[in-house]
């Protein structure tokens, strides 16, 4: 009788353990499902914001790339799947243009990797490895994205500090005097926006505090026809030195348009960091227009603006 009771108690204990294991499994599955639902909701919210973005009501939009929209890629992407987290084509979202500014990278080893960045609202972004990752577009006329004397660009990024890097480059004829280029932060601690300046390269530049590195950032670059340019970070106007006041872009020339590493004269100068969105206007936006774009990007990417 005692043996039977012992056997029954053991059987009951095993059943209890099985129930506990089952409950733990269901709990883990529920948490995982909940996490997936939160991620899906975050992406859908970002897509809704993109659909109603203020750029759609502004003139002069020439380039619009992001890493959240379904239309950004020709294939199904998945940051958790190593076979689906790299793409060969990054599509322009601009519905106002008949000349889509699609970027390509057919070489798999040079393709940035899609990851979720917790410092950029945990949304999918491109990770550039700091070695040679890049996207490019061949034979881009200056007039395809800028006017001769003005341009406004927005970059949503999370970059490593003090790097010899180019996030954006357009270099017609291989001539530095015609270059348009952006360094997130050079090894001297400055952010540089290079611009043509007569017979030399002019610059809009400013010292960038390291509090802006390794976090989500909205960088705004402006050059006006009046010859006054500026750099803004997270909506904050930085005190910038401008040596490109007489800048004139050779809009009739063409060159390869790079995002990421600049592959020119055997020098790569790679960008190291994450990139989520690129917006370019071929004119200098007004203050209110800049504010509305920055507010849209702030809400979408979870980046707080500085008054």
Q: Domain holding 119: CATH number?
A: 2.60.120.200
Closest CA to 120 of 276, 12, 287: 276
What's the number of CA atoms in the CB half-sphere (13 Å) around residue 234?
Answer: 18
Closest CA to 218 of 162, 160, 296: 296
What's the number of CA atoms in the CB half-sphere (13 Å) around residue 279?
Answer: 28
Confidence of residue 21 (pLDDT cuts 50, 70, 90): low
Residues 126 and 208 in one domain: yes
Residues 98 and 116 in one domain: yes
Give the pLDDT confidence score for residue 98 in this predicted structure: 84
Give the pLDDT confidence score for residue 197 in this predicted structure: 72
Residues 10 and 120 in one domain: no
Query: For residues 184 and 166, what is the distance between their CA atoms, to the nearest angstrom?
Result: 7
Question: Are residues 277 and 155 in contact, defined by beta-carbon separation less than 8 angstroms?
Answer: yes
Among 52, 72, 93, which residue terminates a domain? Answer: 52
* 78-87, 158-167, 255-264: the lowest-pLDDT one: 255-264
Total domain count, the chain: 2
Is pLDDT above 70 for 6?
Answer: no
Give the pLDDT confidence score for residue 30 in this predicted structure: 53
Q: What is the mean pLDDT of the chain?
A: 86
Task: Let me know if 254 is exposed, middle or buried by CB neighbors in 10 A (0-12, 13-18, 19+).
Answer: middle
Q: For residue 173, how many other CB atoms are within 10 A of its CB?
A: 12
Residues 97 and 134 in one domain: yes
Query: For residues 225 and 283, what is the distance between their CA atoms, to the nearest angstrom?
Result: 8
| Strand, coil or helix: 303 | coil
Give the pLDDT confidence score for residue 196 in this predicted structure: 82
| Strand, coil or helix: 285 | coil
Q: Is residue 307 part of a domain?
A: no
Q: Which residues contact 16 (CB under 8 A, 6 or more apart)?
A: none
pLDDT digit string (tens) for 54-109?
A: 999 999 999 999 999 999 999 999 999 988 999 999 999 999 888 899 999 999 99
pLDDT digit string (tens) for 179-221?
A: 899 999 999 999 999 888 766 778 899 999 888 999 999 999 9
Residues 17 and 108 in one domain: no
Is pLDDT above 70 for 19?
Answer: no
Give the pLDDT confidence score for residue 201 in this predicted structure: 77
| Strand, coil or helix: 30 | helix
Question: Are residues 272 and 157 in contact, defined by beta-carbon separation less than 8 angstroms?
Answer: no
Question: Percentage of the chain with pLDDT > 70?
Answer: 85
Q: Is residue 306 part of a domain?
A: no
Give the pLDDT confidence score for residue 270 in this predicted structure: 86
pLDDT digit string (tens) for 270-292?
A: 899 999 999 999 999 999 999 99
Residues 8 and 133 in one domain: no
Among 9, 28, 52, which residue terminates a domain? Answer: 52
- Where in the sequence is the domain holding 34, given as residue range(s)? 1-52
Give the pLDDT confidence score for residue 32 in this predicted structure: 45
Comparing 8 with 221, which gets the higher pLDDT?
A: 221
């Amino acid at each position: 009788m005692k043996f039977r009771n012992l056997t029954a108690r053991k059987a009951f204990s095993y059943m209890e353990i099985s129930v506990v294991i089952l409950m733990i499994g269901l709990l883990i599955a529920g948490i995982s499902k909940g996490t997936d639902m939160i991620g899906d909701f975050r992406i859908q919210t970002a897509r809704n914001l993109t659909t109603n973005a203020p750029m759609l009501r502004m003139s002069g939009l020439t380039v619009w790339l992001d890493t959240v929209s379904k239309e950004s890629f020709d294939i199904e992407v998945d940051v958790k799947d190593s076979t689906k987290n790299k793409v060969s084509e990054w599509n322009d979202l601009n519905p106002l243009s008949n000349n889509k500014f699609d970027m390509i990278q057919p070489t798999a080893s040079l393709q940035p990797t899609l990851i979720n960045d917790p410092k950029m609202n945990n949304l999918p972004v491109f990770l550039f490895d700091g070695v040679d990752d890049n996207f490019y577009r061949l034979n881009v006329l200056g007039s395809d994205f800028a006017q001769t004397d003005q341009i406004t660009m927005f970059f949503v990024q999370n970059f490593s500090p003090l790097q010899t890097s180019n996030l954006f480059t357009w270099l017609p004829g291989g001539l530095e005097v015609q270059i348009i280029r952006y360094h997130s932060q050079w090894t001297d601690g400055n952010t540089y926006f290079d611009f043509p300046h007569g017979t030399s390269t002019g610059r809009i530049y400013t010292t960038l505090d390291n509090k802006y590195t390794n976090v989500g950032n909205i960088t705004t670059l402006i050059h006006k026809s009046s010859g006054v340019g500026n750099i803004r970070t997270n909506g904050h106007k930085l005190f910038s030195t401008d040596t490109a006041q007489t800048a004139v872009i050779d809009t009739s020339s063409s060159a390869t348009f790079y995002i990421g590493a600049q592959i020119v004269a055997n020098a790569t100068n790679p960008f190291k960091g994450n990139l989520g969105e690129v917006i370019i206007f071929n004119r200098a936006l007004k203050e209110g227009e800049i504010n509305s774009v920055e507010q849209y990007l702030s809400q979408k990417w979870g980046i707080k603006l500085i008054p």
